[in-house]
């Protein structure tokens, strides 16, 4: 296994240099869009640094749920538990398309999208969160976990739905932000993984993961995702 460390802009060139120096069968872990355009290598369960709508690439194998699938499952949960309507705050270059996917997913389960705030990079996301009701948030960045924690602690009637891939990337921030527990039960995500820190899990993969990673602080969503992918 070869670790590739690089800046975001330099990642494609770093990958190409590694491929020139060594035989590379596949790439896993965090990737940029530009890396996925590198030819001659397969990507197994890559994790984009920013949420992206899925599009077919012959050399990309997705094991984890796509953004569309995560939104659909969350919409189904919302439709089965409360219904009514929901809001969305999306910060992405694909924000309009993501909002449309969410709207159609919600409608499938009888829920309407009451409002969709579409933001560009750099816009403050938390400033647009409602003070009550359900809101889907896509496009998190550093500092947003703490801002969300303060928002849900201050407004007991709001529930925030986040994308698991972003939760995984910002896991340490979420843990620190919700360490006191206030409002943590009103931040919702969907995942196909067992819990990453359950040594007594019914999942064989989770038990093997706990045995392979003895330190609790090293057992995170990201490390479990990588472990599960490598077990296939």
Q: Pick the residue with more confidence: 1 or 156?
A: 156
Q: For residues 135-149, give the mean pLDDT.
A: 96
**What are the tens digits of pLDDT across the range 116-131?**
999 987 888 989 999 9
The pLDDT value given to residue 185: 94
The per-residue pLDDT for 156 is: 95
If one compares 159 and 122, the residue with the highest pLDDT of the two is 159
- Extended beta strands in 32-92, E state: 42-48, 60-61, 85-91
- Nearest-5° angle of CA 179, CA 143, CA 169? 80
Query: Is a pLDDT exceeding 90 seen at residue 5?
Result: no
The enclosing H or E element of 87 equals strand 85-91
No. of helices (H) and no. of strands (E), the chain: 9, 8
The whole-number average pLDDT for the span 46-50 is 90
| Single pTM value for the model | 0.90
pLDDT of the residue at 121 = 79
Does position 231 have pLDDT exceeding 80, yes or no? no
| Phi and psi at residue 111, to the nearest 5° | -115, 140
Of the two residues 153 and 5, the one the predictor is more confident about is: 153
Span 140-169, average pLDDT: 96
Q: Specify the pLDDT at position 230.
A: 78
| pLDDT given at position 157 | 96
d(CA 94, CA 169): 19
Please tell me the distance from the alpha carbon of residue 72 to that of residue 67, in angstroms, as a whole number.
Answer: 9
pLDDT digits (tens, 9 = 90+) for 160-184: 999 999 999 999 999 999 998 789 9
| pLDDT category of residue 25 using cuts at 50, 70 and 90 | confident
Is pLDDT larger for residue 100 or for residue 217?
100
Does the 67-188 domain belong in CATH 3.40.50.2300? yes
Lowest mean pLDDT among 4-18, 58-72, 95-109, 179-193: 4-18
Q: What pLDDT score was predicted for residue 122?
A: 80
pLDDT at 33 over 80: yes
What average pLDDT does the segment 57-81 reach? 94
The domain spans of the chain are: 67-188
Banded model confidence at residue 70, pLDDT cuts 50, 70, 90 = very high
Average pLDDT over residues 150-169: 96
């Amino acid at each position: 296994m070869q670790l590739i460390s690089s800046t975001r802009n330099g990642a494609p060139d770093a990958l190409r240099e590694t491929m020139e120096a060594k035989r590379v069968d596949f790439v896993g872990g965090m990737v940029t869009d530009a890396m996925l355009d590198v030819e001659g290598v397969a990507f197994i369960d890559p994790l984009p640094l920013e949420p992206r709508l899925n599009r077919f690439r012959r050399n990309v194998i997705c094991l984890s749920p796509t953004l569309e699938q995560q939104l659909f499952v969350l919409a189904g949960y919302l439709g089965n538990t409360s219904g009514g309507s929901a809001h969305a705050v999306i910060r992405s270059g694909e924000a309009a398309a993501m909002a449309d996917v969410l709207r159609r997913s919600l409608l499938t389960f009888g829920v309407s999208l009451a409002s969709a705030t579409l933001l560009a990079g750099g816009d403050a996301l938390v400033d647009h969160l409602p003070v009550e009701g359900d809101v889907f948030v896509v496009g998190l960045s550093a500092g947003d976990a703490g801002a969300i924690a303060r928002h849900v602690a201050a407004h007991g009637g709001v529930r925030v739905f986040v994308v698991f891939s972003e939760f995984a990337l910002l896991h340490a921030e979420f843990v620190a932000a919700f360490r006191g527990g206030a409002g943590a039960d009103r931040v919702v995500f969907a995942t196909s993984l067992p819990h990453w820190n359950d040594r007594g899990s019914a999942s064989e993969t989770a038990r093997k993961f706990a045995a392979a990673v003895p330190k609790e602080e090293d057992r995170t969503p990201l490390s479990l995702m990588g472990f599960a992918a490598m077990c296939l």
